[in-house]
């Protein structure tokens, strides 16, 4: 079951390599992360993103495909529960120096064809006014599996991705 998850951690000054994965997340309260966006390619979940205004979404450039669709107001990617909004993408703007091999400058903007209908379930992320400091608690959200259906894993056993 693909659910919106949060991960809490302390910011450290040490760099991590690209193979690190965040473990130990927990399911978010439904619609508690209203800026979280799901990107789909041909009906399949592709990447997470963030709503930054009614017209713009921020994501990773490596998520770029020709047929991106955006779902806002989402919680469980496997079912519709009412507040979801489906949008098409009018314009894709990857970072001008994005490098696919190294993932340097791995960021892109997506301009929605129609603006998001802002609500309790879909609203832009509040941008920070300063950079976080080492040792400061941070929260990250995104979609993930609550179980990978393998022996010895935690989570809901019937969950599948």
pLDDT of residue 14: 44
Count: domains in the chain: 1
Would the pLDDT of 139 be above 90?
Answer: no
Residue 13 counted as domain residue = no
Which CATH number is 46's domain given?
2.40.10.10
How would residue 7 be classed by pLDDT, with cut points 50, 70 and 90? low
Dihedral sign (CA 105, 16, 62, 116)? negative
Domain membership of residue 48 (yes or no) is yes
Q: Answer whether residue 16 is part of any domain.
A: no
Q: Assess if residue 94 is contained within a domain.
A: yes
Question: What pLDDT is recorded for position 55?
Answer: 97
**What's the pLDDT band for 150 if we cut at 50, 70, 90?**
low
Asked if pLDDT for residue 119 goes beyond 90, the answer is yes
Q: What is the pLDDT of residues 80-97, one digit of tens each?
A: 888 899 999 999 999 999
Any domain includes 8: no
Does the pLDDT value for residue 57 go beyond 50? yes
Distances (CA, A) of 129 to 37, 40, 53, 122, 126: 22, 31, 17, 21, 9
Domain containing residue 86: 36-112
Kindly state whether residue 104 falls inside one of the protein's structural domains. yes
The answer to whether position 83 is within a domain reads: yes
What is the CB neighbour count within 10 angstroms for residue 76?
A: 15
C-alpha–C-alpha distance, residues 119 and 130, integer Å: 26
pLDDT-wise least confident of 9-13, 64-68, 128-132: 9-13
């Amino acid at each position: 079951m693909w659910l919106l998850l949060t991960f809490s951690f302390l910011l450290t000054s040490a760099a991590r390599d690209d193979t690190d994965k965040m473990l130990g997340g927990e399911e978010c309260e439904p619609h508690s992360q209203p800026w979280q966006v799901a990107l789909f390619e041909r009906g399949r979940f592709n990447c997470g993103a963030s709503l930054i205004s009614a017209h713009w979404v921020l994501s990773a450039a490596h998520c770029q495909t020709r047929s991106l669709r955006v779902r806002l107001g989402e919680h469980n990617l496997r079912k519709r529960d009412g507040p979801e909004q489906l949008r098409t993408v009018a314009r894709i703007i990857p970072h001008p120096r994005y490098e696919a091999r190294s993932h340097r400058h791995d960021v892109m903007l997506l301009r929605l064809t129609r603006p998001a209908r802002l609500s309790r379930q879909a609203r832009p992320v509040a941008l920070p006014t300063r950079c976080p400091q080492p040792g400061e608690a941070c929260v990250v959200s995104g979609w993930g599996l609550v179980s990978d259906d393998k022996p010895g894993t935690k989570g809901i056993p019937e969950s599948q991705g």
